[in-house]
Structure 1
Amino acid sequence: MGPGGQPDMAQLMKAAQEMQQQLAAAQAELAAAEVTGSAGGGLVTATMTGSGELTALTIAPDAVDPDDIETLQDLVVAAVRDAHRAVGELAANAMGPLAGGLGGGGALGLPGF
């Protein structure tokens, strides 16, 4: 703290810069990561990057029934949703420690900020 109980602006700026660097590194790590979701016991799998881009969709021949296209469509949607859920978990794990540093009394962990 500076004079009069005021926060030291140089320390605040340094802390903000460090958090920004950590955030950028976590975002780069997420973009490079891949997760896979599946449905129907693995009949359909969807692969996404950590940033949420769908990069692959695999459908097992056993999942294809020309008389029941609706089930296949449901399996595709479920696999993509499962992959999206995994992206969310990955992001929460990567960003969680950074977000925790922002809490506790204000945006920078200081009352009034």
Structure 2
Amino acid sequence: MIPGGGQPNMQQLLQQAQKMQQDLAQAQEELAQTEVDGQAGGGLVTATVTGAGELRALKIDPKAVDPDSASAEETAETLADLVVAAVQAANENAQTLQQQKLGPLAQGLGGGGIPGLPF
């Protein structure tokens, strides 16, 4: 504080901003390392993404591919739909994780609305 002026110390403000920036970078790194799953078709297809939304794994239960199906094309379409749904579910879980990790940091920076962040 400036004596008698009531103004915040610029050095102190700069240090706070740098700390917030470090905390944000650490949270983003943790998100990149954390994995979440999404499922579709009652667990027939499971997608694993990082907290940053990067697809890491895709598991397809053999039951999802029906060799007795009348149409291989129909089976492929169904499987594709399940894969898309599983990836979307995993990404929704990743967004929830982002909000949990980064939300408090965004509030510390003035309450959200930060470009590039999903909240």
Considering the TM-score relative to the shorter chain, is it more than 0.5? yes
Secondary structure of the equivalent of 1:35?
Answer: strand
Count of aligned pairs: 105
Q: Percent same amino acid at aligned positions?
A: 62
> For residues 1-113 of structure 1, what are the structure 2 equivalents within 5 Å?
1-2=1-2, 4-65=5-66, 66=72, 67-103=74-110
Unaligned runs of 5+ in 1: 108-113
| Deviation of the 1:24 alpha carbon | 1.3
Larger deviation, residues 1-10 vs 58-67: 1-10
Q: TM (normalized to structure 1)?
A: 0.84
Give the superposition deviation at 1:12.
0.6
Read off the aligned partner of 1:99 and give its amino acid letter: A
Q: Deviations over 1:1-48 (max 9, x none)?
A: 435343320111010011011111111111110011110110000001
SS in 1 for 2:110: coil
Q: What is the root-mean-square deviation in Å for CA atoms of aligned residues?
A: 1.7
Q: Give TM-score scaled by structure 2 length.
A: 0.80
Corresponding residue for 1:111?
none
Which ranges of structure 2 fall in alignment gaps of 5 or more residues?
67-71, 115-119
Counterpart AA for 2:58: L
